[in-house]
Structure 1
Amino acid sequence: MTVTVEADMPVPMRDGTVLRADVYTPDGDGPWPVLLSRTPYGRAAPDHLMVLEPVRAAQKGFIIVHQDTRSRGGSEGEWMPFRHEYDDGYDTVEWAARLPKANGRVGMFGGSYVGNTQWRAAAAQPPSLGAISPMVTWCDPMDGLYGRGGAIEWGLELPWTTQMGFEYLAKNPALPPEEKARLAGELLADVDGMKDRGYWDLPVRRSPTLEKYKLPGLGAIRAIDQPETVSWCRVAGQHDRIDVPSLHWGGWYDIFLQGTLDNYVAMAEAGKDARLLVGPWTHGVFRDPIGDLCFGAMASRLYAPVHPHGDTNDFQLAWFRRHLATDAGVTLPDTPVRIFVMGRNEWRDEPAWPLARARTEQHFLRNGGGLTTGNPDAAEDVSTFIYDPADPVPTLGGPLVMAAAYPAGPLDQAPVEARDDVLVFTSAPLEEEVEVTGRIRVVLHAASSAPSTDWVARLCDVHPDGRSIILADGITRVVTGADAIDRHEIDLWSTSNVFLPGHRIRVQVTSSCFPRWDRNLNTGDQDGTAMQVARQRIFHDADRPSFIELPVVPGGQASA
């Protein structure tokens, strides 16, 4: 089928601002359903087009619209992340529904920021919106986008803000050309030098790198002074306003994994038509190799026919046709959830998330570095380490989005585990496989010599060759007062992994993961630059146990 492309089409907003879009229309009379993607990253950027290839999708009977959000690419207006996506999303959906050859039904697709534009548009309730397909996007911005466990998601905030700043500077009418060129050169140097300079800025709240350019930030810093701006991109609490089918895409190593799961659960519990698909992916890598591992061709999002309708894009188009086309005679799988089980490296269909048959097992952190299901002794000793904010534990893989020097995914933790400020607790080699699928929590009875500190925990799969591969991690920031012994919970979010025979289960405990999360300075004053070294204690006795809670699936079988 031949496809006609119309570039730079004007899309007027209610306030007179004109946004720009490229429209891909199949030849023929139609009418065709419309699929819309609204992006701040450039509507013709190769990475954006690969999310759902527009020509391929148009050849299958859809009108595809790629639009630059306000002030980005060819669109007019002021750049302020998330500020206008509610109204602009509504207006663009209704504009798209009236395109020539359109059938009046619009679906939205795309990931990350583009996923959030779908939620914001859906919350605005445009009458022509018929379905959304958000991929790798959040639910509560304070749990993954702006922060985690009370810490700032600094690893994402700084590079995202600076990299989006090049276009902002170029479009700033107040800057003369020579000033734009100078600032762009300095910004490029700061982006390249982020690992050794910018990430170490103190105080984070008034980062010299960000203050220098006066760039509109992603929002983690802005939310400290203007907490009301969090509502610009919060999905949590909005699900009751959304009455369209939703297809949720996630990755076990995506920075917004738990938000994807939470969005699905909220829609399903509200009785809405919702589906979930989670692969072994990071935020931007969807085929082997992923981190240090290869999961096989079955794990690929594109080009491998591993789903009922082909690859994941074929499945997505079939789902859109089911909800948007007048001839919606498309058969979809009976089960709404499809997850990739790592370790066994296979897809599995499930009737719901979380898995009702998973049972919670407590594995106790033992003095000397053991990890057992047996209860600790009454007088078991204390584990200690020193946390120095001037020498924090470096980020090494996991579910993250950071500067290029910090890749995401299943990376071997050997360099981290060799440090004196990382406690390691490891099980005996497993005689039988153990499947862990669901949400993970670490409970620490702990004390610090500092008035405020962080507790970081990590779950790893230790292979027979000694590689310790990260599966999940989390952080909690506490203000307890020096030497107070308290119970702290760390949310490690979720995973699906089979620990194979001969493998071992490992838990790391430390107090930093930098620069992903901003360093706790141990003083109680994160707006300062002074630091304090802290002596950290983890308790293991019967009255003050420390443990990890794992959702273990008996036999790993799918339920009937």
Structure 2
Amino acid sequence: MKVARVQNVVLVLLVVFSSLAIGQGFGTRVERSVMVPMRDGVVLSTDLYFPDGAEGPLPAILIRTAYGKTSTIDWNPAYRALISRGYVVAIQDVRGRYESGGDYVVAKGRREDGYDTVDWLVSQDWSNGKVGTAGCSYLGETQIVLAAAKHPNHVAAIPMSASSGFYAPGRAWSSFDGGVFELAQTAGWFASNGTQIFYGPPPSIDRQKWFRSPASKLFSQAPKIDFDAYLKLVPTLPTFNILQRAGLPPTEYEKWATSLPDGEFFRTKDLAQSSDTFNVPAVFMDSWYDYGPAETIEMFRLFQENAQSETARKNQFLIIGPSTHCGYTEATERTIVGARDLGDARLDFMDIQLRWYDYWLKGIDNGITEMPKIRYYVMGLNKWKTSASWPPEGTTHQIWHLNSGGHANSRNGDGLLQLAVPPSNGSDSFTYDPAFPVPSLGGHTCCTGTETEAGGYDQSEIELRDDVLVYTSDVLTKGIEVTGALEVILYVSSSAPDTDFTAKLVDVYPDGRAFNIQEGALRMRHRNSLSEAVLMEPGEVYEAHLDLHATSNYFGPGHRIRLEVSSSNFPRWQRNLNTGGNNFDETEWEVAQNTIHHSAEHPSRIVLPVVE
């Protein structure tokens, strides 16, 4: 009993000291469902969390979400900490979602609505005229496009996992990879979050009064979704209408699934463009096993290069950890990402967030702007490192060539990964049958709703398939840190007029476990352009460039570097049916004989950025 009492006292003291450490001092007063007017007359429902008893004027943190404002307050422990620290936290349903008026169109009108909301916040009598923004994923995207709008009162941002907010050609909204449709991720997101139907009051009833009344809570605003029906249809054809066939409410999924990767549909979406300029200090956060660390790195660069002031240019920061989507607070003394042990990856993200907003919104000189410009976690080495620039100082590029005796099929084959160029002509062939695709296992994805989960997993079983070519280095006698952008160049031919090629970088441990590090794909019709399609001539050899995005991984002594090459990774990526048709609306397929060529004339290779 005494031990229990002592433990309780210790627990109370820890809570008290933890509260003091984050500056807890104020309680919370909430004004729910405040209708904020936009320039076109549409009102957006916003919950305002006030620090009860705090004397104004007060700074505000704006969080704009497509996922329902009510639950968002508890997504990040920093939100409640900010309230207790004297901030007004405003959480808003974006246009057309939940309690907000207007029509919901994904990635449309976000910069105007964000701008108008900041206008409204700073016009309130409690405001000190400074607004920061916060949030992960879609909530991070809304920060990116608001930053492009350059509201003078938007003075600080922390976009987390917000890579989809940037228009990278062929990667718009992270829905394609090398022209291959991200089936599981895109369909899964739309099935869960894409409905355009929300039940609200008739126009004659005051929207704010309605949503503040108990009557509005008697029914769900969103229609019921039969997610199980959707999951059963993911493996079926055609792919463009699986949500419709599952009986789900209307979404924009069909437009996503049937548009060109770099076509007019995606170009007109409200995403930050390389031509945009910015003027807000920002801390970009992402993860190596999330879907877009390479795009986050590009946004970090863009905010520096296109800054409209020296203050903004000098105050861009980048932090990339080892977790999956929005998993920053999940790191422990033994951080497991998927099935891969990545050691003690803890970082005080709470402290970084609170000090960042304190500096820019309250004027507290706490030294936060003196932190390293770039912090990144080296997986395998299991250590945080810093850099003043990207790529990190001392980066060189190693070229590892593919070679074999003609039988690289499976990890039991003779595929080699070597620094020397193969002296003679060689090739490896495999049969790609869309009816039996290579299954997805881990990787860089999210939101699928399927058994496809992000992270590092042992690929050994997949590497037993004959339709997976496996090229492996000798055992390393010296460790290699690979940090930065990855590219695979393959010389390929096929019996089909169109097919896909996939590549996966793998770290082979001394005990034989083979963990996926990064992966990429290319739909061959898009080998020259992601905005138009050109089919192949069967049997002709083509040069194919596969973007494997970015990573940071240490291949230690005793490990081996491995590259897997195939033509599918399903259901992460939509299968190419090898017909030369649209794929998305087809129900028939052809079996393809695909070949990788490797020689001095056809130097198939992977280019690794190595940090000395």
> TM-score if structure 1 supplies the norm length?
0.89
Distance 1:522 1:34 in 2: 53
Distance 1:422 1:442 in 2: 16
Distance 1:55 1:285 in 2: 18
Distance 2:38 2:306 in 1: 32
Structure 2 residue corresponding to 1:293, chosen from 324, 340, 362: 340
1:386 maps to: 431
Letter in 2 for 1:435: E
Is the aligned partner of 1:36 residue 2:62?
yes
Structure 2 regions of 5+ residues with no counterpart?
1-24, 203-218, 308-312, 405-413, 526-535
CA displacement at 1:292 relative to structure 2: 0.5
Cα 1:208–1:17 shift into 2, 3 Å: closer
CA displacement at 1:340 relative to structure 2: 0.8
2:451 maps to: 405
Distance 1:468 1:209 in 2: 38
CA displacement at 1:470 relative to structure 2: 0.6
CA displacement at 1:210 relative to structure 2: 5.9
DSSP 3-state at the match of 2:501: strand
Cα 1:208–1:35 shift into 2, 3 Å: closer
Matches within 5 A, 1:71-470: 71-138=96-163, 139-140=166-167, 142-143=170-171, 145-164=174-193, 168=197, 187-188=225-226, 191-195=227-231, 197-207=232-242, 209=244, 212-213=247-248, 215-217=250-252, 220-221=256-257, 223-224=259-260, 227-240=264-277, 242-270=278-306, 272=313, 273-286=315-328, 287=330, 288-296=335-343, 298-300=344-346, 306=347, 311-367=348-404, 368-379=414-425, 381-401=426-446, 402-470=448-516
Letter in 2 for 1:388: D
Structure 2 residue corresponding to 1:538, chosen from 579, 596, 600: 596
| Structure number, greater radius of gyration | 2
Distance 1:394 1:258 in 2: 24
CA displacement at 1:194 relative to structure 2: 4.1
Letter in 1 for 2:590: Q
Letter in 2 for 1:312: F
CA displacement at 1:533 relative to structure 2: 0.4
CA displacement at 1:136 relative to structure 2: 0.6
DSSP 3-state at the match of 2:461: helix
Q: Is the 8 A contact 2:96 2:196 kept in 1?
A: no
DSSP 3-state at the match of 1:5: strand
Letter in 2 for 1:140: Y
2:563 maps to: 507
2:6 maps to: none
Identify the range of structure 1 (111-120 vs 218-227) with the bigger mean alpha-carbon deviation: 218-227
CA displacement at 1:451 relative to structure 2: 0.5
Distance 2:66 2:571 in 1: 25
Distance 2:264 2:195 in 1: 26
CA displacement at 1:314 relative to structure 2: 1.5
Distance 1:149 1:447 in 2: 17
Distance 1:39 1:169 in 2: 15
Cα 1:532–1:337 shift into 2, 3 Å: same
Distance 1:551 1:530 in 2: 41
Cα 1:106–1:344 shift into 2, 3 Å: same
Distance 2:62 2:382 in 1: 33
1:12 maps to: 37
Post-superposition Cα deviations, 1:451-509, rounded to whole Å, max 9, x if no partner, equal 10111000011111211111100001113221110111100000011111111111000
Cα 1:172–1:547 shift into 2, 3 Å: farther
Distance 1:210 1:327 in 2: 55
Cα 1:70–1:498 shift into 2, 3 Å: same
CA displacement at 1:414 relative to structure 2: 1.8
1:2 maps to: 26
Q: Is the 8 A contact 2:44 2:92 kept in 1?
A: yes
Letter in 1 for 2:602: R
CA displacement at 1:193 relative to structure 2: 4.6
DSSP 3-state at the match of 1:216: coil
Distance 2:143 2:291 in 1: 18
Moved over 6 A (4+): none
CA displacement at 1:86 relative to structure 2: 1.9
Distance 1:487 1:16 in 2: 53
Q: Is the 8 A contact 2:230 2:242 kept in 1?
A: no
DSSP 3-state at the match of 2:62: strand
Identify the range of structure 1 (125-134 vs 386-395) with the bigger mean alpha-carbon deviation: 125-134
Distance 1:376 1:52 in 2: 54
Distance 1:107 1:540 in 2: 53
Post-superposition Cα deviations, 1:226-257, rounded to whole Å, max 9, x if no partner, equal 824543232232432x2111211110011122
Distance 1:146 1:223 in 2: 10
Q: Is the 8 A contact 1:435 1:497 kept in 2?
A: yes
Question: Cα RMSD over matched residues?
Answer: 2.4
Distance 1:98 1:295 in 2: 47
1:303 maps to: none
Q: Is the 8 A contact 2:99 2:200 kept in 1?
A: no
Distance 2:79 2:241 in 1: 42
Cα 1:548–1:267 shift into 2, 3 Å: same
CA displacement at 1:18 relative to structure 2: 1.7
Letter in 2 for 1:519: R
Distance 2:283 2:98 in 1: 28
Distance 1:171 1:259 in 2: 37
Q: Is the 8 A contact 1:440 1:493 kept in 2?
A: yes
DSSP 3-state at the match of 1:253: coil
Letter in 1 for 2:524: V
Distance 1:66 1:485 in 2: 54
Post-superposition Cα deviations, 1:173-216, rounded to whole Å, max 9, x if no partner, equal 9xxxxxx99x966x41xx22544x32234333344636844522
Distance 1:329 1:98 in 2: 28
DSSP 3-state at the match of 1:382: strand
Post-superposition Cα deviations, 1:157-186, rounded to whole Å, max 9, x if no partner, equal 21111112568365699xxxxxx99x966x
Q: Is the 8 A contact 1:42 1:68 kept in 2?
A: yes
Structure 1 residue corresponding to 2:91, chosen from 62, 66, 80: 66
Distance 1:210 1:238 in 2: 40
Distance 2:149 2:318 in 1: 23
Distance 2:359 2:145 in 1: 23
CA displacement at 1:356 relative to structure 2: 3.8
DSSP 3-state at the match of 2:600: coil
DSSP 3-state at the match of 1:49: coil
DSSP 3-state at the match of 1:420: coil
Letter in 1 for 2:433: D
Distance 1:293 1:202 in 2: 33
Q: How many residues align?
A: 530
Q: Is the 8 A contact 1:223 1:230 kept in 2?
A: no
Distance 2:258 2:138 in 1: 17
